[in-house]
Amino acid sequence: MMSLSTIITILAVFGALQGLAAFLVYVERKVCAFMQNRIGPNRVGPAGLLQVLADGLKFVMKEEFVPRYADKLLFIVAPAIGMVAAMLSFAVVPFGPTDNPADADYLANYQFIVARNIDIGILFIFAVSSLTVYGIILGGWASNNKYSLLGGLRSSAQIISYEIPLGLSILGVVLICGSLNLERIIWRQAEGGLFAWNIWVQPLAFILFMVSAFAECNRLPFDLPETEQELVGGYHTEYNGMKLAFFFLGEYVHMVTTSFLMVILFFGGWHFPVIAGPDSWVVFKLIVFIVKMSLFIIFYMLVRWTIPRFRFDQLMALAWKVFIPMALANLVCVMIVKEFGLPIWLLLPVSLGILFAAGLVVTQPAKRSPRYQAPLGNASGEALLPQ
């Protein structure tokens, strides 16, 4: 009985995720068009909704082309790795209401999650979703194309760098909730009400997590692996048809997963005051959860058409010089509060304090070496460049 419902859930999630990922391409184009005062796809079907089918059909009908000097096996396997890893990490993410995992009949009742009550939930997501980088770097290498290889290299450097702030930033949440289990984290916030949402005590962690998630998904402003202008598409330069679609599918599934994670970790999962409490009807909870998740996806798209791309050294500096120290400081503060039993609301001013302190540090004039000479100066010998 239970295994049957699990199988149905797996199939439903598998289908829904792929459909959603294809639909997101349409949403992306629509959002882009609206932000540029355009209408966007509107020719295929009502309001262009069948564009999704048309795009999919185009991908399927295309010739499956493999470059002559490409490593054929890896070339074909790489997109599959990317997509499978992205899909697999969704296994422990609750996509709808879940009960209190401490209840005795938790496993007997239906829960909106594929693998329920996994105590290493977050760890599993990070372990599996980092595997997507293999898809990208193998695809880049197997193409036997310098642009693709550069894209793959950039991607591996970027994703490995951003894994660290991504993991460090949510350690605070994990410490506060005392669990890596995503259902427990949701339940703790749902029980406590609106002000138990982790965003109130970990706003800095949320910003760090969100920006790192953008980088993990290769979304703008961190889409350096696939820069069209400099790398002609980066790791997927040589890809077309269904294999290219797999890369995109993986990317969009990753977006959906991280959007769910942001809602679960910081915004109380399916909980919303008045509308969806622990005793509310399942449908309300489901709607609240999906709406919250969709808002984050829309936000992903808004940011894409707002912020220009980072330079590669800026990208690395942001991860190593800014995010990791900030995440560490945040983690230390959470540990101090937990260890000495201080009131937890202290973390709100502390988080903002860390953010402003970081701003203060970078506004301090950098010390030049005594041998440094201003490249150009005016009559009074003042340097032109900011000191």
Task: Kindly give, in sequence order, each residue whose CB lies less than 8 Å from that of residue 212, ignoring residues fewer than 6 positions away.
Answer: 162, 163, 165, 166, 169, 319, 323
Task: Kindly give, in sequence order, each residue whose CB lies less than 8 Å from that of residue 12, ignoring residues fewer than 6 positions away.
Answer: none
Q: Which of 343, 349, 359, 381 touches another protein (CB under 8 A)?
A: 359
Closest-CA residue to 125 (of 17, 240, 35, 256): 256
363 binds another protein (CB under 8 A): yes
Minimum gap (Å) between residue 298 Cβ and another protein: 10
For the segment 153-212, give every residue that binds another protein (CB under 8 A).
207
34 binds another protein (CB under 8 A): yes
360 binds another protein (CB under 8 A): yes
Q: Which residue has the tokens 């909980």?
A: 271
Minimum gap (Å) between residue 178 Cβ and another protein: 30
Minimum gap (Å) between residue 352 Cβ and another protein: 11
276: helix, coil or strand? strand
Which of residues 4 and 376 has its CB atom nearest to another protein in the complex?
376
307 binds another protein (CB under 8 A): yes
Minimum gap (Å) between residue 38 Cβ and another protein: 5
User: Quick one: tokens of 370?
Assistant: 């005594």
Minimum gap (Å) between residue 36 Cβ and another protein: 7
Measured CA distances, 245 to 60, 77, 275, 335 (Å): 9, 13, 38, 44
Q: Which of 23, 27, 29, 35 touches another protein (CB under 8 A)?
A: 35
Binding mask 79-118 for another protein (x = CB under 8 A): ----------------------------------------
Residue 11 CA to residue 3 CA, distance in Å, equals 12
38 binds another protein (CB under 8 A): yes
Q: Which residues pair with 377 in a beta bridge?
A: 383
What residue type is assigned to position 38 of the chain? R
382 binds another protein (CB under 8 A): yes
What residue type is assigned to position 115 of the chain? A
Q: Which of 115, 302, 316, 348 touches another protein (CB under 8 A)?
A: 302
Residue 213 CA to residue 224 CA, distance in Å, equals 14
Q: Are 303 and 223 in contact (CB under 8 A)?
A: no
Q: Which of 1, 339, 379, 381 touches another protein (CB under 8 A)?
A: 379
| Range in contact with another protein (rule: CB under 8 A) among 82-90, 118-126, 152-160, 358-366 | 358-366
For the segment 202-241, give every residue that binds another protein (CB under 8 A).
207
Rounded to the nearest 10 degrees, the angle between the axes of helix 324-339 and helix 146-177 is 10
Minimum gap (Å) between residue 311 Cβ and another protein: 14
Residue 224 CA to residue 251 CA, distance in Å, equals 14
Report how many residues bind another protein under the rule CB under 8 A: 26
What are the residue ranges of helices labelled H in 178-281? Answer: 182-192, 203-216, 228-231, 241-266
Minimum gap (Å) between residue 383 Cβ and another protein: 9
Closest-CA residue to 339 (of 176, 219, 165, 107): 176
Minimum gap (Å) between residue 386 Cβ and another protein: 6
Which of residues 307 and 336 has its CB atom nearest to another protein in the complex?
307
User: Quick one: tokens of 94?
Assistant: 């609750």
Question: Sign of torsion, CA 10 11 12 14?
Answer: positive
Which of residues 373 and 378 has its CB atom nearest to another protein in the complex?
378
244 binds another protein (CB under 8 A): no
Residue 366 CA to residue 358 CA, distance in Å, equals 14
306 binds another protein (CB under 8 A): yes
Minimum gap (Å) between residue 363 Cβ and another protein: 5
In the complex, which residues of this chain contact another protein (CB under 8 A)? Answer: 33-39, 207, 302-303, 305-307, 355-356, 358-360, 362-363, 378-379, 382, 384-386
